Structure 1
């Protein structure tokens, strides 16, 4: 696949691990190649017909400038390439290892709601109306 930049990465900014990865990508990314959209923002509306905001929270999505979509591990792979960190993501494209990485990603998606206790890199995201709380109940099964 020949990428058409920029790639827009749709990420869940309420997820502590996801927010850490996005912070790392932002440090390296050229906005002409990689842009970010936080699907946890109350103003977010799913840009694809037939897709809900929850689907974007449950699985990583990215869209190239020509309209092509990639999801899951492919969204991770292409976002890291767009940020100039492709050598770190290169194993995701290795066909013999791909089933193992897919399994690991599905396991991460199942465990992600239980990882809400991890400190968020933007601690203020968990504070509203002078009250701070750690989420205790997953919003969905995140399959």
Structure 2
């Protein structure tokens, strides 16, 4: 595992992106952890679940915590796909991209509803075990 991602499994768009990531991760560089898992707080007591629900959290193999688009960019880089996403970390683009990401994260359930017809996941959105 090179990157552990703590994601909101109740969000249809978040779950869809995690499925896409794992489909492109045959060597298991990425571990996915649903913030809503029963044992989340006991397994990852060092991650503030409420804060992680406002901004995507990731943890590297060395223990470094990444936030927001830094997680997304690291994850896609590990898959070797979607290299264009790295543009979001360029110095002139990063502040605007981060601002947009935070707005998306705050309104992800509404955006999910507009795009998918579902605000929250049911059993059909869950990642395969």
TM-score norm. by structure 1 comes to 0.72
**Counterpart in the other structure of 2:118:** 119
Pairs aligned (count):
121
Within 5 Å, give how 1:1-143 maps onto structure 2: 6-45=2-41, 47-49=44-46, 51-115=47-111, 117=113, 118-119=117-118, 123-124=122-123
Aligned to 2:9, the other structure's residue is in SS state coil
| Larger Rg, first or second structure (1 or 2) | 1
CA contact (8 A) 2:7 2:56 kept: yes
CA contact (8 A) 1:19 1:121 kept: no
Q: 1 or 2, which has the higher helix percentage?
A: 2
CA RMSD of aligned residues (A): 2.4
Structure scoring higher RCO (CA < 8 A, sep ≥ 6) equals: 2
- Structure 2: state its 5+ residue gaps: none
Aligned to 1:41, the other structure's residue is in SS state coil
Distance 1:40 1:52 in 2: 12
- CA positional deviation for 1:113: 3.6
Distance 2:72 2:15 in 1: 13
> What whole-Å deviation, never above 9, does each CA across 1:16-65 have from its counterpart, x for those lacking one?
1101111110110134411111112122116253x422222221011111
Aligned to 2:23, the other structure's residue is in SS state helix
Aligned to 2:83, the other structure's residue is in SS state helix
